[in-house]
């Protein structure tokens, strides 16, 4: 685990929500300079940090709302550190918890050099990485539908399908495999949804591959040249790892791909 341990004049810990954020700013001696709730808007953030931004470091936990604040800090040349949410929970866990308390604890961790860092993924590739994760979500939903068809067949002890239903060409006659009209209708819905997921996944893959070639075409083609690495795995490695030098040991790879 990497920790932020650079000396600054001011340290800002934020508990960030969709509509509001609780801001705590400490000086180098640990005195509280700001400790209040403000709207989660660029204007409100810049206003509250304005007196301290000359030598300020800002941190939030790695939750789903951090993108805009990281990009704003980058545009305004304010040092931004992303806190590793899981590790921070282990460090600042306590019985008394609210946004006021947590924002102060985050600022204290930052000032004390004990803030575990997460990777601030580059904004230029972030949306494509999220699109790749969206593809994974759709593939899982498609898998649930395929499993439902197989489970339904098992419920009624019907003969096994001769071919894998994951391939579109093997689904002909699947609906007719079930004699009961209501069960047949249920499977018909499953098959229709699977066909839609197939089309959506293919369309997403075309877009993601196009973006991968634009972002780092050489790396993508080198990954594809490795035996056993196909298109999807190459995309996953490219977008989930991104910069291999940020992984200090092989044990860091599993959380990265999670």
Question: Which domains occur in the chain, in start order?
Answer: 3-118 (3.30.420.10), 123-257 (no CATH)
Q: What percent of the chain has pLDDT over 90?
A: 80
Is the Cα dihedral 106, 107, 110, 111 positive or negative?
negative
Residue 91 in this model has a pLDDT that exceeds 70: no
CA 201 to CA 206: how far, in whole Å? Answer: 9
Specify the pLDDT at position 245.
74
Q: Across the chain, what does the average pLDDT equal? A: 91
pLDDT for position 96: 66
Say which residues have a Cβ less than 8 Å from residue 17's Cβ, sequence separation at least 6. Answer: 40, 65, 99
CA angle 97, 102, 103 (to 5 degrees): 150
pLDDT band at 179 (very low <50, low <70, confident <90, very high): very high
Q: pTM for the whole thing?
A: 0.83
Quote the CA–CA distance of 51 and 35 in Å, as a whole number.
14
pLDDT in tens, 11-43: 999 999 999 999 999 999 999 999 999 999 999
What secondary structure, in 3-state letters, does 176-224 show?
HHCCCHHHHHHHHHHHHHHHHHHHHHHHHHHHHHHHHHHHHHHHHHHHH
The beta strands (E) that lie in 77-136 are given as 79-83, 115-118
Q: Given pLDDT bands bounded at 50, 70 and 90, which one contains residue 148? A: very high
């Amino acid at each position: 685990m990497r920790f932020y341990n650079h000396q600054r004049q001011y340290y800002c810990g934020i508990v960030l929500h969709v509509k509001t954020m609780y801001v705590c700013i400490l000086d180098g001696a640990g005195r509280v300079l700001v400790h209040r709730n403000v709207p989660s808007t660029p204007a409100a953030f810049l206003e509250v940090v304005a007196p301290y931004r000359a030598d300020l470091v800002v941190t939030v936990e790695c939750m789903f709302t951090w993108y805009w604040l990281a990009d704003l800090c980058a545009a305004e040349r304010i040092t931004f550190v992303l806190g590793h949410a899981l590790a921070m929970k282990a460090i600042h866990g306590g019985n008394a918890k609210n946004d006021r308390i947590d924002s102060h604890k985050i600022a204290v961790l930052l000032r004390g050099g004990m803030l575990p860092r997460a990777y601030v993924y580059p904004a230029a590739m972030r949306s494509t990485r999220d699109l790749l994760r969206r593809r994974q979500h759709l593939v899982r939903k498609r898998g649930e539908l395929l499993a439902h068809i197989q489970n339904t067949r098992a419920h009624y002890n019907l003969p096994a399908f001769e071919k894998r239903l994951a391939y579109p060409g093997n689904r002909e006659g699947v609906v007719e495999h079930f004699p009961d009209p209501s069960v047949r209708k249920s499977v018909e819905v499953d098959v229709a949804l699977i066909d839609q997921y197939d089309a959506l996944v293919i369309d997403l893959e075309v877009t993601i591959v196009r973006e991968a070639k634009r972002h780092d075409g050489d790396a993508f083609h080198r990954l594809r040249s490795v035996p056993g690495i196909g298109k999807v795995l190459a995309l996953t490695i490219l977008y989930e790892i991104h910069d291999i030098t940020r992984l200090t040991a092989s044990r860091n790879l599993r959380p990265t791909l999670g």
